[in-house]
Amino acid sequence: MIVVTTPTGQIGRQVIDRLLDRHPDTPDGTAGIRVIARDPARLSARVRAHVEVVRGSHADPAVLKEACAGADRLFWLVPPTPSADSVEGHFRDFTEPLPEVIAGQGIERVVSVSTLGRGVAKNAGQISASLAMDETIAATGVHYRALCPPFLMENLLGQAASIRDEGVFFLALAEDRVLRTCATGDIAATAARLLLDGSWTGQDDVPLVGPDDLSPEGMAQVVSAVLDRPVRVQRTSSADYKATMTRFGTSDAWAQGLADMVGAINDQGFYGAAQPSTPETAPTGFRRWCEEARKPVA
């Protein structure tokens, strides 16, 4: 039995789709997959027809225990929650019940979504909290794979209106330095492959670094070429980035974490050119992604 968290989220829903594409139904008509969903109505009809659903949050120890009963594999992702009053507390609230469930429910393998930066990232907001989550899970001794992407290409979709209407997107990252990227589809594909493979053991990071050597300015050039009109990137300060986030309703703590994160990426360089690409886990190039995602900004 495979348990999937965040099945309606950007990555989790793609994990479910890939599992259903490859995982045959069992005699009872299910695919041997169980999901934890706050709002099962948001699941697709296909998912509701072929998986078991446990209603609730995987931050709730009782819900997590129920969902993992009889399961041996778990896809784990702590959902971003911009209203959270503490970044570290948010990750801790989700992760603290997990070691007991791993030990008590017989979970053998965990695949989680983490981030690049282990051994490098310091005082990096959500990145540091994610790496601390990895340490908590690894300490259980479970067979573990931490998926480690850098900047997600889909982050730009949050600025689709600005790109479409003003021809500009904003980043609080150095505009002339390589920024490594990854498409969420590659994260989901790697997660599904690992969840369906019962042969791997031990604990390891799995970097997911796309094939491009693009700076934000280079990314803007690609977007311009795909849309056939000028698009530029404008750098903002970490303080301006935080102010923008809070203006749109993000809590002060979450916004500060994001500001700390981009500051650490700029200063410590762990999303930069020193990270080699990993074509076996992240084959999607930025231009291909833009071509596939162009509708919202066309």
Indicate the SS3 state at residue 235. strand
Please report, in tens digits, the pLDDT of each residue of the chain (298 residues total). Answer: 999 999 999 999 999 999 999 877 766 656 699 999 999 999 999 999 999 999 999 999 999 999 999 999 999 999 999 999 999 999 999 999 999 999 998 899 999 999 999 989 999 999 999 999 999 999 999 999 999 999 999 999 999 999 999 999 999 999 999 999 999 999 999 999 999 999 999 999 999 999 999 999 999 999 999 999 999 999 999 999 999 999 989 999 999 999 999 999 999 999 999 999 999 999 999 999 999 988 666 6
Residue whose C-alpha is closest to residue 119's, from 105, 135, 104: 135
**By residue range, what is the domain housing residue 134?**
2-149+184-207
254 within a domain of the structure (yes/no): no
Alpha-carbon torsion angle 80, 170, 178, 152, nearest 10:
30
For residues 12 and 37, what is the distance between their CA atoms, to the nearest angstrom? Answer: 11
Q: Is residue 236 packed enough to be buried (19+ CB in 10 Å), middle (13-18) or exposed (0-12)?
A: middle
- Residue 15: which CATH number? 3.40.50.720
201 within a domain of the structure (yes/no): yes
Q: In the structure encoding, which two tokens stand for residue 212, read together?
A: 């491009």
For residues 33 and 196, what is the distance between their CA atoms, to the nearest angstrom? Answer: 11
In the chain, the number of structural domains is: 1
289 within a domain of the structure (yes/no): no
Predicted TM-score (pTM) of this structure: 0.95
